[in-house]
Amino acid sequence: MAISYATVTWDQLHRDARLLAEQLIAEGPFQGIVAITRGGLIPAAIIGRELDCRLIESISVVSYDQQGEGEQRQGEPKVIKAPAAAGDGDGFLIVDDLVDSGVTAQLVRRLLPKAYFACLYAKPSGRPYTDRFVVEVPQETWILFPWDTAPLFVPPLARKSV
């Protein structure tokens, strides 16, 4: 299966986070938010602002091992920072940027079984583990988030060597 790439800009991320927040108003109010680091930090900040929720906790889960130059392999997920303020998740909203395979989401849901899980983007394998998302993307699509990319100079086509 060929991998395709989708680039999410800062503007698009902000619009999608606000759209998600708008949908979440009916599910709240939430006493706090648990951001799954690192990808959930920025969406959680935007959603926290829109929902007027100031308690933002985090959970840090590591599930990818660095293999070599740029290569990563998903391994067994490990919690390296627990969300102490969230208890069993009652009254809390879990926020992430993407649910991909669902490995991280399953772990977090086991730790916070009473929380509501929302993310910006969902792939088919991870979709069953989220309560709400904004955009479904194909499983073979690799999302390039704004914090993963940098603008680069691209020469005009007329200067491109043939």
| Annotated active-site residue in 16, 52, 65, 97 | 97
**Orientation angle between helical segments 41-50 and 10-24, nearest 10 degrees:** 50
Residue 88 appears among annotated catalytic residues: no
| 127 and 99 Cβ atoms separated by less than 8 Å | yes
DSSP strand pairing (132-136 vs 116-122):
parallel
Residue 100 appears among annotated catalytic residues: yes
**Residue 64: exposure state from Cβ atoms within 10 A (0-12, 13-18, ≥19):** middle
| Annotated active-site residue in 11, 96, 131, 148 | 96
| Annotated active-site residue in 11, 88, 100, 148 | 100
Closest alpha carbon to 96 in 131, 142, 137: 131
SS3 73: strand
Structure tokens of 70?
Answer: 């740029």
- DSSP structure class, residue 108: H
| Catalytic center residues | 96-97, 100
